[in-house]
Amino acid sequence: MENSDISQYFNDRTIFITGGTGFMGKVLVWKLLKSCPGLKNIYVLIRSKRGKSAMLRYQEVLQAPLFDSIRKMDESLMSKVQAVCGDVSLDELGIAPEMKQKLISEVSIVFHGAATLNLDAQLTDAINMNTCGTLRMLEFCSEMKNLEAFVHFSTAFCHVDLDSLNEEVHRSSFDVNNIMKLSTWLNEKSITMVTPHLIHPHPNTYTFSKRLAEDVVTDFHPQLPVVIVRPSIVCPSLKEPLPGWVDNLNGPIGILAAGGKGVLRSVLCKADYTAEAVPVDFAINAAIAIAWKTAINKQKANSVPVYNLTQHNLNPITWETVMIKGKEEALKYPFELMLWYPAGSITENRFIHTYKRIFYHWIPAYLIDGIMLLLGQKRFMVRVQQKISDGLRVLQYFTMRNWDFKNDRLIALRESLGDVDREEFNMDFENMEVESYFRNSILGARQYCLKEDPASIPRARRTLKILYVLDFIVVYLRYAFAIWLLYKLYQFVSSVF
């Protein structure tokens, strides 16, 4: 790409990526091919799974719709992406000796994003993947002859004990090496017992293990050109690779989808608190620009450079806005197979939230499953509500707190880019149009996650009208029943006194 400093830097360079099958990893590979077509190769670490080889698994990833635009642009670009059989949970990453030598001699840029994103993962698994996996990656990359940047994907929520998070490393009070050893010494029962005390004040093993991983990265500075990037909640894309593209229902988009299906009626959150989220294309654009900046900066920093990939106060969006705008768009572009009319709400009152969960989530779920049992059909609603309940339990830690993530270094990087790079690697949070973003996010979740054809929207709108009438009737029947109960109570009290 002409006049792009970033694109020109990547010409004839080889990149090594972990986590390439994940949400961010797919967009990273897409963006590198699209905006840096002169690169030499992209090696993606991927493990064999369920009898499928690494090569076959990644070929399936590359057949995803988001790569259609790359094939149209230049089919030959797809041949630059090569799968490497391996696993960060294994010594030497489980990579064959011949491939190891190839990577050591060729790779210039590393993006390390492999991690277990299961917030309820066993501490042993989280430490092995997120912390020990990072150590194995760094040890492996220490042998690379031409390494110019090692970009480690952390999370903005890895320091939950800090009211305000600056773009710097905050060492854990634990010795990370001892924690890694401890996770292998203790049996499952012992690990389960000590986990709550060990990870406190972290809400889950994910943020705890990612915090420890930052310590591991710091230990390799300045021997390696390491840099830490901390995205907040990563959400559907703004523009690239497709408006609203998403391949999972984690975080806010999962709430909106469940609400749109009519199975989620209450969310516990502080309405006026900021929803610290970032579109996936902004996060990836920033990561690539950071890799470039790290590589061209030949003067070693005194400490590990850290970038918070957050919007901070650039274009803050509250949880109330998320819920209102999401609900509006879900009513304009309804989902298929809605179980009830989307009429969810938010509250910060735990009693009201619990009341709504019982009467709007669990009781209807058991009633539906009871009907399915009588009809001899497969029961599913209680299981769905259990998943929703688990998701809300994890998410409410973040929706009931306000976060202050400084992003001065990220903004300085953005301002330092030339006009071409600033447009190509867009990070302009201020120019996000909220309504169209939520519209595309709902449509993206509908099409890419739930596999619902856009052509079904007119039919879904007709279903929505029917559900609206039914919901209206049920609401007024409920009010009538409440009035009847009060009347009967009045009659009883009058007869007694």
In the predicted structure, residue 254 carries a pLDDT above the cut 70: yes
Chain segment 120-131, per-residue pLDDT in tens: 889 999 999 999
User: Is there a contact between 253 and 323 (Cβ–Cβ < 8 Å)?
Assistant: no
- What Cα–Cα distance (Å) separates residue 100 from each residue in 53, 223, 414? 18, 20, 35
pLDDT-derived band at 496, boundaries 50, 70, 90? confident
Give the percent of the chain with pLDDT over 90.
67
Structural tokens at position 422: 């600033």
Query: Is 341:450 a contact under the CB 8 Å cutoff?
Result: no
pLDDT at 124: 92
Residue 46 and residue 128: Cα distance in Å, rounded?
A: 16
Q: What is the pLDDT of residue 192?
A: 87
pLDDT value, residue 2: 66
pLDDT band at 18 (very low <50, low <70, confident <90, very high): very high
For position 64, what pLDDT does the model report?
87
Euclidean distance between CA atoms 453 and 131, whole angstroms? 40
Check: pTM over 0.75? Answer yes or no: yes
What confidence tier does 93 reach under pLDDT thresholds 50, 70, 90?
very high
* Domain limits, the chain: 5-244+274-317+404-427
Backbone angles phi, psi at 396, to 5 degrees: -65, -20
Inter-CA distances, 155 with 251, 271, 459, 466, Å: 14, 23, 40, 43
The answer, yes or no, to whether residue 410 has pLDDT greater than 70, is yes
Q: Is the pLDDT of residue 80 over 90?
A: yes
Residue 400 pLDDT greater than 70, yes or no: yes
Mean pLDDT of 98-119: 94
Mean pLDDT taken over the chain: 92
H-helix segments, 357-445: 363-374, 381-399, 408-416, 419-424, 434-444
Q: Which residues have a Cβ under 8 Å from the Cβ of 386 and sit 6 or more positions away? A: none
Give pLDDT tens digits for 319-371. 999 999 999 999 999 999 898 899 888 999 999 999 999 988 998 899 999 99
Give per-residue pLDDT as tens, 268-321.
999 999 999 999 999 999 999 999 999 998 767 788 999 999 988 888 899 999
CATH number assigned to the domain with residue range 5-244+274-317+404-427, chosen from the 4 options 2.40.10.120, 3.40.50.720, 3.40.630.30, 3.60.70.12: 3.40.50.720
How far apart, in whole angstroms, are the C-alpha atoms of residue 349 and residue 55?
50
How much is the pLDDT for 419? 93
pLDDT tens-digit map of 37-76: 999 999 999 988 777 788 888 888 888 888 999 999 999 9
With bands split at pLDDT 50, 70 and 90, how would you rate the model's confidence at 1? Answer: low
Give the residue carrying structure tokens 């990612």.
210
pLDDT in tens, 174-208: 888 898 988 888 888 888 898 999 899 999 999 99
